[in-house]
Amino acid sequence: MKHCIIVGGVAGGATAAAQLRRINPKIRITIYEKGRDISFGNCGLPYNIGGEVSDRDKLVAATPESMAEREITVKTYHEVIRVDSGAKKVTVKDVSGNDTFEEEYDYLILSPGGAPKTMPALLDVPQSFVMHNLEDLDDINSYIAKHDVNKVVLIGAGYIGLELIENFVRRGMDVTFIHRSEEVYRPLEDDMGDFFIGEMKRQGVDVRLNTEIVEVDGNVATLDNGEEIDAPMIVAGIGILPRTEFLKDSGIELNDDGFICTGETGRTSAECVYALGDAIETFYQHTGGKTTVALAWGAHRMAYVIASQISGNEDVEFEGLLGTNIMRFFDYDIATLGLRQHEVPGYDHFIVDHRQRNKAGYMDGSVPIQVRIYVSKPDGKILRAAVVGTEGVDKRIDILAAHIRLGGTAADLANIEVAYSPPYSSPKSVLNMLGYKTIEKMKKFDE
């Protein structure tokens, strides 16, 4: 019987295991997970803080026991510390017992994920946390309960930081937001995200920009301007790095930033070694350029592709990603897809921007929604899109994703026959209008 080893048991690894077992009843599957838990909904962690996931245990999708029922062996607290892709074997460290052993594979699936970045000033600070896995969530909840914490200092303006701000506010805690620049949520255009700081203040958050913590002593944090603030709990969400150091001498190609290189089949540069999840480099669906997208949709899709490939169904391939993403911040919904802002200038392009009510304008409670697209001048392709509003943003970004995927151009948006009824849209939706505006702009180029 062939043996498939999977490194990492969270979203990517667990889904790959489940898919592989479903397709392929005759393969031996072993998951090595360095942490305590497998297969938990890590995107849902912040919502347990705020109470919207009131049942913490619902975040656990599978356990080693439930995996065993499907004949998948799970070893938690087991870290793969070395891969020899030539000899097709891994070196595993039993983290609890400090034991090390080697294991051979026929197929290896790498889903090591990322490791949260840390700041020097927060090392060895007992009330400092990250929010990366279920252990972190449990630690935070325990600490709050044990120390009766009602105030938290949040560092980081990425989506995890922002989701945590919302959720700690929902929990009724006093929140201080510390950010070393004025730029909040880099995935979004600055002018489209100009509501972030205002919304934080409206929600009672103590906002401190252009500063950072340099030292923590007891429950007091000192900022770089010398100010001392009350910091009974600190949570940092300042980004992640791919957890791929163990692959250094594996013979598996990494890119300059340490992400594992993959292609349409999910295979790495090494035979019978596949990779998925937050630690891979993949490619843009619409331009073919290299990218990294640390999001769940791609991991789930790649799990299916890899399971199919390993099971001999080689015509199932990965199409690349648009990086379609969305975040809620209190009443706001923020979504983007396609190239990142800094990548757009590499293309000859123009911008089309449109703001329109999310439903018929005569309806009470209709609210504005703004969509911006970056259009490739030579071929009319949509390179990037950003959508902001308080209702219906998810609808628009998903339509764009479906449209772009099948080669729909910007002008072509005029032709999407959306469902119209006053509570849902205008007869010409915001996307249709972007199409018509694009056509007008292109006519002017031709003149």
Look-up: residue for tokens 């007891």?
218
Q: Distance between CA 127 and CA 428 in Å, rounded?
A: 52
Instruction: Give the range of 43-51, 170-178, 233-241, 273-281 binding a second copy by CB under 8 A.
Output: 43-51
**CB-side neighbour CA atoms (13 Å) of 163:** 23
Residue placing its CB nearer to a second copy in the complex, 148 or 446: 446
Binder of a second copy out of 82, 151, 171, 301 (CB under 8 A): 301
Q: Decide: is 205 part of the binding site for a second copy (CB under 8 A).
A: no
**Does the protein bind a second copy through residue 252 (CB under 8 A)?**
no
Residue 337 binds to a second copy (criterion: CB under 8 A): yes
Cβ-based nearer residue to a second copy, 250 or 291: 291
On whether the CB atoms of residues 310 and 274 are closer than 8 A, the answer is yes
* Nearest to a second copy of 289, 422 (CB atom): 422
d(CA 304, CA 274): 12
E strands along 311-403, which residues? 325-329, 332-338, 349-357, 368-376, 382-389
Start-to-end CA distance of the chain, whole Å, equals 68
Question: Rounded distance, CA 89 to CA 107, Å?
Answer: 10
| 430-446 helix and 393-405 helix, angle to the nearest 10 degrees | 50
Size of the site for a second copy (CB under 8 A): 66
- Nearest-10 Cα torsion for 372, 373, 374, 380: -150
* Exposure b/e, 297-311, CB count within 10 A at least 16 = b: ebbbbbbbbbbbbbb
Among positions 9, 10, 17, 47, the unique one binding a second copy when judged by CB under 8 A: 47
- The residue from 53, 130, 154, 200 that contacts a second copy (CB under 8 A) is 53
Our finding on whether 326 is near a second copy (CB under 8 A) is yes
Sign of the Cα pseudo-torsion (324, 329, 333, 334, in order): negative
Is residue 128 involved in binding a second copy (CB under 8 A)? no
Q: Which two tokens stand for residue 404?
A: 């772009």
Catalytic residue flag (residue 43):
yes
Angle, nearest 10°, between helix axes 11-23 and 296-310? 30
* In the complex, least distance from residue 304 CB atom to a second copy, rounded to whole angstroms: 8
Q: How far is the CB of 212 from a second copy (least distance, A)?
A: 27
Answer yes or no: are the C-beta atoms of 357 and 426 closer than 8 Å. yes
> Do 427 and 357 contact (CB within 8 A), yes or no?
no
**Greatest pairwise CA separation for the chain in angstroms:** 74
Nearest residue to 30 via CA among 84, 95, 106:
106
CB of 228 to a second copy, least distance (A): 36
Q: Which of 11, 129, 113 is nearest to 60 (CA)?
A: 11
Segment lying near a second copy (by CB under 8 A), choices 25-33, 109-117, 270-278, 294-302: 294-302
Nearer Cβ to a second copy, position 106 or 199?
A: 199
Part of the chain binding a second copy (CB under 8 A), chosen from 131-139, 224-232, 245-253, 315-323: 315-323
Which of these segments, 71-79, 202-210, 261-269, 316-324, binds a second copy (CB under 8 A)? Answer: 316-324
Closest distance to a second copy from the beta carbon of 29 (Å): 20
Choose which of 29, 109, 130, 399 interacts with a second copy (CB under 8 A): 399
**Contact with a second copy (CB under 8 A): which of 123, 342, 421, 446?**
421
Q: Which of 3, 41, 170, 212 binds a second copy (CB under 8 A)?
A: 41
10 Å CB burial of residue 151 (0-12, 13-18, 19+) is: middle
408 contributes a contact to a second copy by CB under 8 A: yes
For a second copy, the closer of residues 195 and 420 by Cβ is: 420
Is 273 or 305 the residue whose CB approaches a second copy more closely? 305
Which of 223, 360, 390, 442 touches a second copy (CB under 8 A)? 360
Contact pick of 92, 295, 306, 352 for a second copy (by CB under 8 A): 295
Q: Does 156 bind a second copy (CB under 8 A)?
A: no
As annotated, the active-site residues are 43
Residues at the contact surface with a second copy, assessed by CB under 8 A: 11, 41, 43-44, 47, 51-55, 58-59, 285, 295-301, 304, 319, 321-322, 324-328, 333, 335, 337, 360-365, 392, 394-395, 397-399, 401-403, 405-408, 414-425, 427-428, 436
